[in-house]
Amino acid sequence: MIRLLHRAIVGTIQRLPLDAARFAFRGYNKVLRVLGPEHVATTFFGARLHCNPNDLIQRMILHFGVWEPDVSRVIEQNLKSGDVFVDIGANIGYDTLLASARVGRAGQVVAIEASPRTFELLQRNLALNAASVNVRAVNAAVSDKPGILALYEINEGNIGAATTLASRGGTLTASVEALPLDQILTADEIQRLRLIKMDVEGAEPPILRHILDQLSMYPPTMDIVVEASPQDDFPAWCDVFDQLRAAGFSAWAIDNDYELDWYLRWRHPTALHRVETMPAHQQDLLFTRR
280-289 pLDDT, tens digit each: 999 999 999 9
Burial of 171: CB neighbours in 10 Å, binned 0-12, 13-18, 19+:
exposed
- Which of the 8 DSSP states describes residue 163? B
18-35 helix and 2-15 helix, angle to the nearest 10 degrees:
150
Residue 242 has pLDDT above 90, yes or no: yes
Mean of per-residue pLDDT scores for the chain: 95
For 167-207, the DSSP string reads: GG--EEEEEEEEE-HHHHS-HHHHHTEEEEEE--TT-HHHH
The pLDDT score that the predictor gives to residue 256 is 96
- Averaged pLDDT for residues 159-166: 90
Q: What is the pLDDT of residues 72-87, one digit of tens each?
A: 999 999 999 999 999 9
Which of 191, 184, 190, 195 minimizes the C-alpha distance to 138?
184
The pLDDT score that the predictor gives to residue 252 is 98
Residue 115 has pLDDT above 80, yes or no: yes
Domains of the chain: 68-288 (3.40.50.150)
Q: b/e for 210-231, b at 16 or more Cβ within 10 A?
A: bbeeebeebeeebbbbbbbbbe
Q: What is the pTM of this model?
A: 0.95
Question: Is the CB of residue 86 less than 8 Å from the CB of residue 185?
Answer: yes
Residue 3 has pLDDT above 90, yes or no: no
Band (pLDDT 50/70/90 cuts) for residue 155 is confident
Question: Is the CB of residue 97 less than 8 Å from the CB of residue 43?
Answer: yes
Cα separation, 17 vs 186, in Å, equals: 51
| 188 Cβ neighbours under 8 A, 6+ residues apart | none
Band (pLDDT 50/70/90 cuts) for residue 156 is confident
Question: Is the CB of residue 244 less than 8 Å from the CB of residue 289?
Answer: no
Residue 1 has pLDDT above 80, yes or no: no
Percent of the chain with pLDDT strictly greater than 70: 100
- Averaged pLDDT for residues 43-62: 97
| Range name among 40-44, 167-171, 174-178, 221-225 with the lowest pLDDT average | 167-171
SS (H, E, C) 91-145: CCCHHHHHHHHHHCCCCEEEEECCCHHHHHHHHHHHHHCCHHHCEEEECCEECCC
Question: Is the CB of residue 247 less than 8 Å from the CB of residue 215?
Answer: yes
- Which of the 8 DSSP states describes residue 250? E
Q: What is the pLDDT of residues 179-194, one digit of tens each?
A: 999 999 999 999 999 9
